[in-house]
Structure 1
């Protein structure tokens, strides 16, 4: 099942209600467009290197594709990440500091919050990547968004940037069906 784009109000409610660690993970996803699996595996060493730079940048190798990605991240966000950073990973696992937080743990926290706030769409960590794509498209256009998401083909990027429109139309169709 595909995840949905979520409204700005839903994103705000989500960030407000998440655990502090998961909130930071989601904020980094919204700031970079990276997948949750790549964010939770960030090392404390990589974070320290970014904080030492004049223009703080984080570097990853995408787990899914093996592609490199570098993003400029606000000093405020990096400093908040540093405050809770673990010995090896920025986002430590619950039971073992030698393991990073799992994407499934973030998924469950997001689902808990969505249920609590009555968010009806299929919200999951990947929804935030779609929100980033829509924002990037609105600001910079399709070509830049494709580059930012590290997509090889524009069709994949279009699926992301049109998710807001698709979600809007889906919501309208749901309402029409419920009236019948």
Structure 2
């Protein structure tokens, strides 16, 4: 192992094992780099074309995760993808989002039971909820779903295909012929 000219032994606190590992890692990387022939293009030697250069820049600049990039790749390789349909600014996408009937989501801090929990865990966890009444209202006001809903009398069928065609709910005290009684009568 060569020692650099400006090497100061007083600052050397690396074990010989760590040093050997570092040297072997560097030699592997140098071997891989020396095997790389590069590309023969305008963006040589490391990138093959303009699209590769732009995607590399975008991924690096915005620290795109693997799953985000996989989603992006699925979009641009989809057979129905047309570059003319791509909005040229983010405001168009935000207008689309604002037109959607999205329910308001509320955030709550829920206390956790700290028994048998590692000390590194926080005492609370964030929970997100949508009010049930608002959710049902949106379903009932949906023009696509409303015509498919049935609110009439019971449906008697020989072929039981739906949950409510079964006998489980019919045997329940809440839905059967029986009454629910408590201590007060």
TM-score range, shorter chain: under 0.3
TM-score of the aligned structures, taking structure 2 as reference length: 0.21
Which structure has the higher relative contact order (CA within 8 Å, separation 6+)?
1
Q: Whose helix proportion is higher, 1 or 2? A: 1
Structure of greater Rg: 2
TM-score (norm 1): 0.21
